[in-house]
Amino acid sequence: MTKELRSRALFYLAAAFATLMALLPRPPALPLDWLGDKIHHMTAFVVLTWLACWGFHGARDRLIFERLAFFGAMIELVQSIPMLHRDCDIRDWLADALGIVLVLVLRRLYWQAARLVPRGA
């Protein structure tokens, strides 16, 4: 199995885990709870974006952003179902989007810096 396929498999597992955690009526306590739930959103989407960048290596940043931002929006939409006892909050989606952008910007800066380094240096 190639690194790209492993990253895709990990991406789909992480996406399933993020969906499960987002839809549980009472998610378990996590070590970062004291920082607020926005840190959970950002962390989840940083990991998903990183895995998407590795698993879908040829995909453009815009496509990765669009798909993951849509995924985050759908999670928020489903959280509005009263039976789930969760909150639909645009700020959660914005935290998701910020996590996505953070990884994409850092990746682009890395690649730009890597191109500037002379070979053999």
Digit-coded pLDDT (tens) for 42-78: 999 999 999 999 999 889 999 999 999 999 999 999 9
Tokens of 87: 């909150």
Long-range contacts of 79-88 (CB under 8 A, 24+ apart): 79/22, 79/23, 84/23, 84/25, 85/25, 85/26, 86/22, 86/23, 86/25
- Beta-sheet strands, E only, within the chain: none
Specify burial of residue 95 (Cβ count, 10 A radius: 0-12, 13-18, 19+). buried
Comparing 15 with 112, the larger pLDDT belongs to 15
Secondary structure of 98-118 as H, E, C letters: HHHHHHHHHHHHHHHHHHHCC
Q: Spell out the domain ranges in the chain.
A: 3-116
pLDDT at 40 over 60: yes
